[in-house]
Homo-oligomer: A and B are copies of this chain.
Amino acid sequence: MKDVARSAGVSVSTVSNVLNRPDYVSSANRLKVLDAIARLGYVRNNAARQLRVGRTRTVGLVVLNIANPFFIDVIRGVEETLSRVGHSVILCNSDGRPPREESNVEMLGEQQVQGVLISPVDPGSPWLAKLADRGVPVVLLDSRAAGTEQCSVSVDDVLGGRLAASHLLEQGHERLVYVSGPPLLHQVTERREGVLAAMAEAGVPADRLTVIECTELSFGAGCDAGERLLGLRPRPTAVICANDLLALGVLQVMFANGVSVPGDVALVGYDDIDFAAGSAVPLTSVRQPRYELGEVAAKLLLDEVDGAGEHAHRQIVMTPELVVRASSSSAHATWSRSRSSSKRR
């Protein structure tokens, strides 16, 4: 900056003004400075700027699993909302592993981010509490704040599970299988609770539910679950998966083994990712407002950051929606190619 100032024949503060408040500077000087910057290839040192100003225009976003298309849309929602107001996003992937999450959060803390959006493995982890104690706004994403002292945006997973199960029960199925993910994830367990609630409502005893647990929410894990499903006796007729990746894996294995979907087995996924509508048998799924989830969370964070003191914490719970396609219902078995509903950007 000193070099630029010298080369332009002005003082450093004029250079600084050109960068930060161009209208304070005479246009003659502004031009000289801009020219010198271009000539010298000057790039502002953000560390120094931050140090001086005390805060950043950066927020951190920690997602549970970047390989899950669900989060890709959440990320989009966050990024577009924040970049519109000039904030940049540092994206981190905890990969569902608490130690990674901890180091992500720690790194973000040191970067002096304005705030953190996080889909936590465990919303009660000490590192999140510590961050909040330091006064860094934290908004929980796809997770409900325990108290009222924190913002959160989530989707009603119990309802989602109930929608899926009610649908299958209405089709006359009497035994259900729930292909679950890591029980650490409350999303996964709440969806199961929803399934049980629907069964209770329908007067179906809880022991009619078989749970198959997977160690991760991935396509590969779904394939493994599919294999295990094949071994069950009596053969289940209806399967709900904790997410679409699992469901697609299950579907693939059914397909490969000549088990007809929905003829022999009805299948319901969760998230309604793009592939769900496009798989061999279009997948019935519980749609979540993914983009909006990120968008709303980002706006909440902005409000907390800008609205100095004025901010009231809010816990927003969004509503999922069942999208019925061929995989669960003989009525849809003639493919109507209803992909239309999955449009998102």
Q: How far is the CA of A252 from the CA of B107 in the complex (A)?
A: 43
CB-contact partner of A109 in B43, B134, B252, under 8 A? B43
Q: How far is the CA of A134 from the CA of B252 in the complex (A)?
A: 51
Residues of A within 8 A of B (CB-CB), count: 47
B219–A133 touching, CB < 8 Å: no
A91 interfacial by beta-carbon distance below 8 Å: yes
A311 interfacial by beta-carbon distance below 8 Å: no
Beyond A107-B88, A278-B223, A280-B280, is A41–B130 a contact (Cβ under 8 Å)? yes
Q: How far is the CA of A134 from the CA of B242 in the complex (A)?
A: 49
Q: Mark A47-74, 1 if CB is under 8 A from B, else 0.
A: 1101100001000000000110100100
Q: How far is the CA of A335 from the CA of B275 in the complex (A)?
A: 21
A303 interfacial by beta-carbon distance below 8 Å: no
Cβ of A61 to closest chain B Cβ, rounded Å: 10
B91–A91 touching, CB < 8 Å: yes
Instruction: List, in ascending order, chain B residues with CB within 8 A of A79's CB.
Output: 93
A278–B46 touching, CB < 8 Å: no
Cβ of A319 to closest chain B Cβ, rounded Å: 25
Q: Which residues of A contact B (CB under 8 A)?
A: 41, 43-48, 50-51, 56, 66-67, 69, 72, 75, 79, 88, 90-93, 106-107, 109-112, 130, 133-134, 219-220, 223, 248-249, 252, 255-256, 274-275, 278-281, 335, 337, 339
Known pairs A66-B66, A75-B93 / 7 extra A-B pairs, C-beta < 8 Å: A45-B112, A47-B50, A66-B75, A79-B93, A223-B339, A252-B278, A280-B281
